[in-house]
Amino acid sequence: MRISVKAPLKAILAGEHAVVYGYPAVAVALDTYVRVTAEPGDDSFRVETELSCEGNVRAEITRDGNVKGFRSESLHEELTYVATAVRKASEEFDAPPSNLRILSEAPPASGLGTSAAVTAAVLLGLAEVSGVNVSREEIRRLVREVELEVQGKASWTDATVVTYGGFVRVSGREFELIEPERNPVLVVAHSQEPSRTGEMVRRVAELRERLDIVDGVMELIGELVDDLEAALRDGDLRTVGELMNANHGLLAALNVSTRALEEIVHVFRSAGALGAKVTGAGGGGCAVALFEREEDAKRAVETLSALGYEAFVTRPSPCGVKTE
């Protein structure tokens, strides 16, 4: 029995970082996926993955989540999500030793929620292998628990959007699916620098300890998320874009932008984007832009590719993690 599962990656349209402190965020699942196949194996969990920048990698994971035989620190970090998901699946579903193959259409540490998508897909794959009927709410809860364990601090954003798909407003553990009046064209560009969520969340927490204005910045982000959500529901993409630009400025104030991300954001705007911003934890990773016209989006991709950035046009995906 071989189970195939896919989970969407995500972009945050507004609200990252502030959402960790209880303010709302709006995120969207992308038509770009992580795919996992799971089948019963011999005596341990064997993982084969192309998640790593080090190419195709094999690992062995024990029931209690230990990764065997790896020396590379960066690789270990990526596999920690998989290992923690394996341990959860052993505890919650009594998952049998299985072979897992993981493929991602985007690089890890890109700010696109690869870790949450991989975690959700591994959990659903192992639930299916175990013959356990798992609800979406259970998957969402487990993904959040894995993120919390690995990162130290995590909002419900990534866990919710990879589980349910579509446009989602998240506030604390509450969420609401948004039906936008019009579907935008989205472009994602990778700065070619890694974005480490745990580290960036810690850095923002430290800045918040030192500077009184950080709470005010987060409050403003929360306010613009409410306005962005209303504009999205009304199909007012121009206002959505303007608010994304404003959010980018506030993320820069939190010091999570980089020179490469600034360049990408400005290329997007020159190519006619309605709005562009860092997406996810920043410090590297991706920027996302909203376009009205597909031809402008394609032009932005060409310009960014010529500058050495990896960029692609994508669309919102209505589906969350599911078997294929």
Q: Catalog residues that contact ligand MEV under the rule CB under 6 A.
A: 12, 16-17, 19-20, 113, 154-155, 157-158, 197, 201, 280-281
Nearer to ligand MEV, 128 or 158 (CB): 158
The least distance separating ligand MEV from the CB of residue 295, rounded to whole angstroms, comes to 30
**What whole-number distance in Å separates Cα of residue 10 and Cα of residue 240?**
17
Q: Which is nearer to ligand MEV, 246 or 251 (CB)?
A: 251
Is the Cβ of residue 13 or residue 19 nearer to ligand MEV in the bound state? 19
Q: How far is the CB of 20 from ligand MEV (least distance, A)?
A: 5
Choosing from 158, 212, 226, 234, the catalytic residue is 158
Closer Cβ to ligand MEV, 19 or 95, answer by number: 19
- Tokens 């604390």 correspond to what residue? 172
**Cα(56)–Cα(248) distance, rounded to whole angstroms?**
35
The nearest distance, CB 79 to ligand MEV, in angstroms, is: 19
Q: Which is nearer to ligand MEV, 154 or 168 (CB)?
A: 154
- Give catalytic status of residue 158 as yes or no: yes
Angle at 300 between CA 295 and CA 301, to 5 degrees: 95
Closest distance to ligand MEV from the beta carbon of 195 (Å): 8
In the complex, minimum distance from the CB of residue 281 to ligand MEV, in angstroms, rounded to a whole number: 4
Minimal CB distance to ligand MEV: which residue?
155
Burial 69-82 (b: 16+ CB within 10 A, else e): eeeeeebebbbbbb
For the beta sheet containing 286-291, the strands, ordered from the edge strand earlier in sequence to the opposite edge, are 275-279, 286-291, 185-190, 310-314
Half-sphere exposure of 183 toward its Cβ, with a 13 Å CA cutoff? 12
Burial class (CB in 10 A: 0-12, 13-18, 19+), 141: middle
Residue burial 213-235, b: 16+ Cβ < 10 Å; e: rest: ebeebbebbbebbbbbbebbeee
Residue 154 CA to residue 240 CA, distance in Å, equals 25
Q: Which is nearer to ligand MEV, 88 or 196 (CB)?
A: 196
Quick one: CA torsion of 72, 195, 323, 233, rounded to 10 degrees? Answer: 170
d(CA 110, CA 287): 9
> Token pair of 100, please?
């897992």
- Among 147, 33, 113, CA closest to 280: 113
We find the least distance from the C-beta atom of residue 260 to ligand MEV, in angstroms, to be 18
Residues with catalytic function: 158
